[in-house]
Amino acid sequence: ALIYLLFTVLSLLQQQKTTVQSTAGAGICESISIFSVMQSTVSRHGCEGARPTPEADIYALAVTMCEIFTRKDPFEGEDFVQILNRMRSGAEPDLRPELPEKLPNEVKELICLCWHTDPARRPKSAEIKKRIAQLPRDKVDRWFMKVERKFEKTTGLRISGPPKSAIQLLQEVFPPNIARALREGRKVEPEFHECVTIFFSDIVGFTDISGSFHPLQVMNMLDRLYYALDVAAHKHEVFKVETIGDAYMAVSNLVKEQPDHTKRIADFAIDAIKTANQTLLDDDRPELGCLNIRVGFHSGPVVASVVGNMNPRFCLFGDTVNTSSRMESNSKKNQIHMSEAATTLLKEQAPNMKIVCRGRIQIKGKGEQLTFWLKCPTSDEDLVGGTRNVCLGSQEEAQLSNTNNEVPQLLHENRLFHA
């Protein structure tokens, strides 16, 4: 609600810079309430046919704020025409919608100031913008929670839920211990994690999609995909680190100890491909089909920390991040590409998962590495050299068997990973 009000005030500011005689003046709040616009019309000193003024728009904004904070129409239950006639007559200059007694004082003062009976004493848009930005967010959050609980109790309907406080948002963006440190104003110290599993994915053909679609369509597509991936991440208890363009990054065994962290990422990866294959490129044009993604993951040590003061970001550092990214960039459409280390851990944590040895390939910045495919049940595509990911050949079984014997020792000697 506060964000909407800020945008409304910004619109008013822009309008006042152009002209105070704009015929659109009284219509800024029309999308929220026709009633508020009509009130602004009759509030111009009771003069019928008077030109729109910035003061009348400020009045309409006050009525809109009343609607937002009460979740009710102004003068609810009273006759609409009679209210307008009473206002037009000028006999009741103080006639205004009733405000709840327990509405935060800062909000009540702002609304009353904006619909002051003397238009000259109503604040300018710049002042309103400043006041809205200074409203006590905790008080406003509690107010909306109370209003919405009352609405749900009286109607039996559930609405979208209470506004999220700053604390709730911190806890969603950062791991709990880091969110706590930021909330308390403490410096976040870097944390070393001995072994995590990092997931990367990106959209196949995203550059072409971006060139063919309007930016709003691309944004809508990514929003639908990332919303579904977030649901899957929550299901498998993996932590979403960030999204950059069409890339989605997640990690397990970081926020809390997860002995089966590689299996969790593997299950998440399978669900991610299923999700993408069910996400339409364009909701309005289903004939265009659904998205395809490529996936990769790797296991190893990382250092986690928060960087920057302005818009601080939670980041992972270390060669494990680079290798995980390389697994994804060297993957194929709707396939899951794994490093040797991740494959070994997955075989221990989920022996029944079907794995195909891809063989040794050149990895940029890494040289030649032995990598593997995790069979995704939704895909029947050929993986390497025409061999379907249905079963392992004898040579591949031997390679994987050797890997199972060698990698634990290499992990123990810390030769595979470099933080």
Average pLDDT over residues 290-301: 96
Residue 249's pLDDT band (cuts 50, 70, 90):
very high
Which residue carries 């890997």 as its tokens? 403
Give 373's strand partners.
Answer: 337, 356
Band (167; pLDDT cuts 50, 70, 90): low
Q: Is the pLDDT of residue 125 over 80?
A: yes
Measured distance CA(302)–CA(317) in Å, rounded: 6
- Separation of alpha carbons 419 and 111, rounded Å: 56
- Tell which wins on pLDDT, 137 or 198: 198
**What type of residue sits at position 134?**
Q
Structure tokens at 222: 């990514």
Whether the per-residue pLDDT at 376 is higher than 90: the answer is no
Say what the alpha-carbon torsion angle 2, 3, 6, 11 is, to the nearest 10 degrees. Answer: -140
Measured CA to CA, the distance from residue 4 to residue 97 in angstroms comes to 21
Pairing outcome for strands 239-244 and 247-252: antiparallel
**Token couple for 164:** 């999220």
Which two structure tokens, joined as six digits, stand for 354? 């079907």
Assess whether pLDDT exceeds 70 at residue 42: no
Report the pLDDT value the prediction gives residue 81, as an integer from 0 to 100.
Answer: 79
CA–CA distance, 387 with 370 (Å, rounded to integer)? 17
Q: How many residues does the chain have?
A: 419
Per-residue pLDDT at 275: 93
Helix axes 340-349, 394-412, angle to 10 degrees: 100
Predicted local distance difference test score (pLDDT) of residue 313: 85
Which range is least confidently modeled, 105-119, 126-140, 275-289? 126-140
When mean pLDDT is compared across 48-57, 325-334, 395-404, the lowest value belongs to 395-404
DSSP element (H, E) containing 314: strand 313-317
Q: Residue 299's beta-bridge partner residues?
A: 197
**Structure tokens that stand for 283 in this block:** 């909701």
Question: Which whole-number Å values give the CA distances from 334 to 270, 277, 280, in the listed order?
Answer: 9, 8, 15
What's the token pair of residue 52? 């729109």
DSSP state of 280: B
Q: Rounded to whole angstroms, how far apart are CA atoms 213 and 205?
A: 12
In this predicted structure, the answer to whether residue 89 has a pLDDT above a threshold of 80 is: no
pLDDT band for position 45 (50/70/90)? Answer: very low
pTM of the model: 0.55
Please, what is the average pLDDT of the chain?
A: 78
| pLDDT at site 15 | 55
Gap between the Cα atoms of 74 and 71, Å rounded: 9
Q: Which residue has the higher pLDDT, 288 or 44?
A: 288
Helix and strand tally (H, E) in the chain?
15, 10
